[in-house]
Amino acid sequence: MSATIIDGKAFAASVREKVATHVARLKEVNDITPGLAVVLVGEDPASQVYVRSKGKQTVEVGMNSYEHKLDDDTSEEDLLALIDKLNNDPAVHGILVQLPLPDHLNEDLVINAIDPAKDVDGFHISNVGLLGTGQKSMVPCTPLGCLMMLRDHHGSLSGLNAVVVGRSNIVGKPMANLLLRDSCTVTIAHSRTKDIEAVCRQADILVAAVGRPQMVTGDWVKPGATVIDVGINRIPAPEKGEGKTRLVGDCDFDSCAEVAGAITPVPGGVGPMTIACLLANTLTACCRANALPEPEGLTA
């Protein structure tokens, strides 16, 4: 293996530390404590784990955490009433509605009911439009985390060829917009892309966000390229015992690491950065709401 491992766990810890320092100063100088409200509808076990983790880390950086757990059969009307209440609560600077929502709730309607200034997920259509036109917005947490790691590793990204594999609204598209804003030459590749391996081999920066375990192999990677693996896939691991599983990315780590210049591992790469960026976005939203300077190095 020749690639440098980009340590997302350590990077996320440094982001949280910066957030905590800024939060402490906000309290001391301005008597303001940022607040993040997380809304969970239903009992999806994976979502419960995420929400617990978000609440814990929010408190650890000195922010207020408000958790709203609603029943599986909560009506759209009741959910929208809660969002309206949070929109109008001055102690709440960020609102996150955990996805996926139960089938009877319209996700687009719910997300677009959040005040765009409090939309720390960056999923509101206004924020999507602002990012797409290169204006100040709230930026989705996972692509923001990827961008922070890329800027840290490369310094300037200007003129680099970036290929994003995957065209989701949550990762692929915002990632491509962020890379374009940093003056990369950007290609979005997807399931219908012709000769996707050859397209990927052009990339100085290769971001894999497709949700297919170990799809990207070393022969897709340009020697020396930086590989950012957004995938988190659980696969059977019979070598660990019957019924056991393990986490892998969208990249085949071993073969990619032979060729890449730098690579994020799974777990311990992009994953930890997502919640760290959620905290960074909440701080940014709080600063903007109070017309205070934004934290340096924590925004796009």
Question: Is 244 part of the annotated catalytic residue set?
Answer: no
Residue 234 among known ligand-binding residues: no
Is 54 designated active site?
Answer: yes
Write down the residue that tokens 């950007």 correspond to: 186
Q: Give me the least distance between CB of 13 and ligand GUN, in Å please.
A: 19
Q: Does 119 bind ligand GUN (CB under 6 A)?
A: no
Selected from 26, 40, 63, 121, the binder of ligand GUN by CB under 6 A is 121
Q: What's the CA gap between 294 and 22, in Å, rounded?
A: 10
Q: Are 70 and 98 in contact (CB under 8 A)?
A: no
Nearest to 187 by CA among 171, 176, 201, 195: 176
Residue 166 labelled as part of a binding site: yes
The catalytic position among 119, 121, 182, 250 is 121
Instruction: List phi, psi (to 5°) of 161.
Output: -80, 120
- Closest residue to ligand GUN, Cβ-based? 99
Q: Residue 65 in contact with residue 25, Cβ under 8 Å?
A: no
Give the single-character DSSP code of 293: P
> Residues 71-110 vs ligand GUN: string with x where CB under 6 A?
-------------------------xxxx-----------
Q: Which is nearer to ligand GUN, 110 or 162 (CB)?
A: 110
Least distance CB 259 / ligand GUN (angstroms): 30
User: For the packed helices 141-154 and 172-181, what is the interaxial angle rounded to 10 degrees?
Assistant: 40
Interstrand relation of 64-70 and 35-41 (parallel, antiparallel or unpaired): parallel
Q: Quote the least distance from Cβ 71 to ligand GUN, whole Å.
A: 18
Which uninterrupted H or E stretch holds 40? strand 35-41
Q: Which of 86, 141, 225, 266 binds ligand GUN (CB under 6 A)?
A: 141
Q: Shortest approach of ligand GUN to residue 236 CB, angstroms?
A: 23
d(CA 131, CA 169): 12
The SS3 assignment for 165 reads: strand
Nearest CB to ligand GUN, comparing residues 72 and 254: 72
Given the rule CB under 6 A, which residues bind ligand GUN? 96-99, 121, 141
Specify binding-site residues for NADP(+).
Answer: 166-168, 232
**Catalytic positions, written as ranges:** 54, 98, 121
